[in-house]
Amino acid sequence: MTKKALITGITGQDGSYLAEHLLVMGYEVHGLVRRVAFEDPERRFSRIRHVLQDVQLRPASLESFSSMFQVLSREKFDECYHLAAQSFVAESFDDGFSTFNSNINGTHYLLAALRQLNPDCRFYFAGSSEMFGKVREMPQKETTPFHPRSPYGISKVAGFELTRNYREAYGMFCCSGILFNHEGPRRGHEFVTRKISLGVARVKLGKAKELRIGNLEARRDWGHAKDYVPAMHLMLQQDEPDDYVVAMGETHSVREFCEAAFSHVGLNYLDYVLEDPQFYRPAEVDLLIGDASKAKTKLGWEPTYTFETLVKEMVDSDLESHSRGERS
Ligand code: G4F
C-alpha cells in the first residue's frame, strides 16, 4: 500500500532532499507551503523544481492553526515530517518573537491538529544540536542536558519538549531528530558554509576580492543534508518512538572550513578571509560534536560523505553555477 507523507518545509534544503528520498521509496508526497510562495514559484520552488510534478503542495502557514487544521481535515497521512522553521540562529537574536511564534506555536498547532484529526500519523520533529548550546559534555548525545544560547535554540528545546509531551501524554508516535549541522549545495546563502563556498567561487572567478566572516574559531560537526534525511525516515519506521542524535562525530572550526574550501581551488584563505565583528553573535555556541552511536546501532544509519567531500561538492557546485552566470 502506498504510504502518504506530509512535509512541512518541503521547499527548504532538507525538505527537498527528503521529498526526493520518499519519492524514490514509493511514497505519495505532500508539502505544506506558504501561500506567498505560489506567487513566486521560480525562486521559492527552486530546490524542488525537478520533482514539482510528483509532489502535491498545499498552502498553509505555521502561524495559523486553522490553515493547518484545514489541510489535515481533508487528508490522512501516515507520516508527517515537521521541518519548517525560522532556522537562522543570527536572525533569532534580531526577532526572537517571530522565531518563537513560528517554531514553538507552529509545532504546537501541528501536533494539536494531528492529535484531533490524524492521531495515528507518525510525527518527526526537526530538533537541533543548538539545543545543547553551552555544552555540558563531549561528545553530545541524547542524554546530554540542554543549555540553549539563542532564541532559536530555546524554541527548538520547546518544540522538542512538546513532541515528547505528545508522545507521553497522548501515546502518539512522535520522534525528534537532534541533527547536527548539515549542509550541501542547496544550503541557504546566510549559513556560514554556503557563504564560504559562494565566496570561494566569486574570488576564484574574479568577482570578489575578499570574504568577510564572523567568529572563525567556532567549531561545528558538519555533515551532508543528503545523508541526514534517511535518518528522519528510519526514525518513523521503528517499533517505538524515540529521539536520536544524527552527527558525524567530528568537529571542525569555521577557519578549517575556509582553509579547505579555498585550498580546493588552489588558493590560500589567509589572502582573502577577513574576520568581521559585525557577524559575531551576542552569545555563541563555541563547540559542537555529536555522538550518533544510537542512530547507528538502532537505525542502522551511516553517512556516506566526509568533511572533505562535503566541502568539495559545495565549492564545485557554486563554481559551476557562477561560471554559468546562475545564482542559486
Ligand atoms: O552556519 P551557521 O549560521 O549555523 P548554526 O548557527 O550552527 O545553525 C545551523 O545549524 C543548526 C544545527 O546545529 C541548525 F539547527 C540551525 O537551524 C542552522 O542550520 O553558523 C555556524 C557557525 C556559528 O558559530 C557562527 O557564529 O559559524 C559562525 N560564523 C562565523 N562567521 C558565521 C559567520 N555564521 C554565519 N551564518 N555567517 C558568518 O559570516
In the predicted structure, residue 31 carries a pLDDT above the cut 70: yes
Cα(83) to ligand 1 centroid in Å equals: 17
Q: Is 214 in the pocket of ligand 1 (CB under 6 A)?
A: yes
With a 6 Å cutoff on the Cβ, whether 162 touches ligand 1 is: no
* Pocket flag, ligand 1, residue 191 (CB < 6 Å): yes
Q: What's the whole-number mean pLDDT along residues 234-253?
A: 98
Average pLDDT over residues 163-169: 98
Q: What is the mean pLDDT of residues 274-283?
A: 98
Q: How far is the CA of 236 from the centre of ligand 1 (A)?
A: 28
pTM above 0.95, yes or no: yes
Confidence (pLDDT) at 326: 65
What pLDDT, on a 0 to 100 scale, did the predictor assign at position 325?
77
Ligand 1 atom having least distance to the Cα of 179: 12
CA-193 nearest atom, ligand 1: 1
Which ligand 1 atom lies nearest to the CA of residue 89?
6
CA distance 211 to 57: 38
CB atoms within 10 A of CB 26: 9
| Strand partners for 57 | 31
Q: Would you say residue 327 has pLDDT above 70?
A: no
* Residue-level pLDDT at 241: 98
Predicted confidence (pLDDT) per residue in 210-224, tens digit:
999 999 999 999 999
Mean pLDDT of the chain, nearest integer: 97
Alpha carbon nearest to ligand 1 atom 15, residue: 128
Q: Does ligand 1 have an atom closer than 6 angstroms to the CB of 279?
A: yes
pLDDT band at 203, cuts 50/70/90?
very high
For residue 23, give Cα distances in angstroms to 12, 27, 30: 16, 5, 10
Q: Who contacts 296 (Cβ-Cβ below 8 Å, separation ≥6)?
A: 302
**How much is the average pLDDT of 67-86?**
98
Cα dihedral 33→38→41→47 (10° resolution): 0
Instruction: Report the pLDDT averaged over residues 36-46.
Output: 93
Instruction: Output the CA 237–ligand 1 centroid distance in Å.
Output: 31
- Residue 187 Cβ contacting ligand 1 at under 6 Å: no
CA 134 to ligand 1 center in whole angstroms: 14
Q: Does residue 141 carry a pLDDT above 90?
A: yes
Q: Does the pLDDT of residue 267 top 60, yes or no?
A: yes
- Over 60: is that where the pLDDT of 328 sits? no
Q: Say if residues 20 and 51 touch (Cβ distance below 8 Å).
A: yes
128 lines ligand 1 (CB under 6 A): yes
Distance CA 214, CA 273 (A): 10
Is 220 touching ligand 1 by the criterion CB < 6 Å?
A: yes
Annotated active-site positions, please? 128, 130, 152
pLDDT at 175: 98
pLDDT at position 324 is 83
Q: Radius of gyration over alpha carbons of the chain, in Å? A: 19
Ligand 1 atom nearest to CA at 128: 15
